[in-house]
Amino acid sequence: MPSADLERIAEELNGMLRAESERRQRFRESLQPEDKAEFINGVAVFHSPATLRHTIGRQNLTVILRSWIIPRRLGTVLDEKALCAFQRNDYEPDIACFSAEQSAQFSPDQRLFPVPALIVEVLSPSTEANDRGVKFDDYARSGVREYWLVDPRAETVEIHAGANGAFERVESGETGRLRSRFLEGLGVDLRAAFNPESALREAARFSL
């Protein structure tokens, strides 16, 4: 290919990247506190309100993870509205867990967060394709150490461990308990992900 064509293609690509970067900045500046939105592959994606079972699943696992992580000073757990900046995309995971090292750099007024160490996404018909597709690949490439996929309709949880830019499925709750590789020692009753009373019992059990 002639060098002039290569230069033209490179210039066009750079122009596209600059335009996408500008759209991403406008997206961030336009976000309102009530918005649940993400910037994925150049497109702003706004999410509709969650169903009750989706919300219960997220709340249950937030309680459980906080009860394990916070007393042990392992890091920070944020849910639903933490905007996390990846190389190209901005995501708001249902639950984002950050390591103690990451958390030490946070400020009280922080609105944009780094790539989390552990991410939980609760599946819904409108989000499952992205959760299992572009997010799955991007989370793995970006160094997320563990990714939980929660299906509140089937009442299942998959845990994928990250290494070398890829995920390996390491847990599916087939034994009735969920075990995390990243959070060493954590074992959770699978029912607790979907039953608030079970979630509170698990949280109480984790108290130091």
> Mind listing the domains of the chain with CATH numbers?
31-205 (3.90.1570.10)
Percentage of the chain lying above the pLDDT 70 cut = 96
Q: Coil, strand or helix: which one is 37? A: strand
Residue 196 DSSP symbol: H
Which pTM value belongs to this model?
0.91
Q: What is the pLDDT of residue 208?
A: 62
Average pLDDT over residues 98-102: 97
Average pLDDT over residues 56-63: 97
Q: Is the pLDDT of residue 128 over 90?
A: yes
CB atoms within 10 A of CB 140: 19
- 166: pLDDT confidence band, cut at 50, 70 and 90? very high
- 15: pLDDT confidence band, cut at 50, 70 and 90? confident
Distance CA 58, CA 51 (A): 11
59, 153 Cβ separation under 8 angstroms: no
Q: In what order do the strands lie in the sheet with 75-79?
A: 75-79, 95-99, 118-122, 146-151, 156-163, 166-171
Q: Coil, strand or helix: which one is 70? A: coil
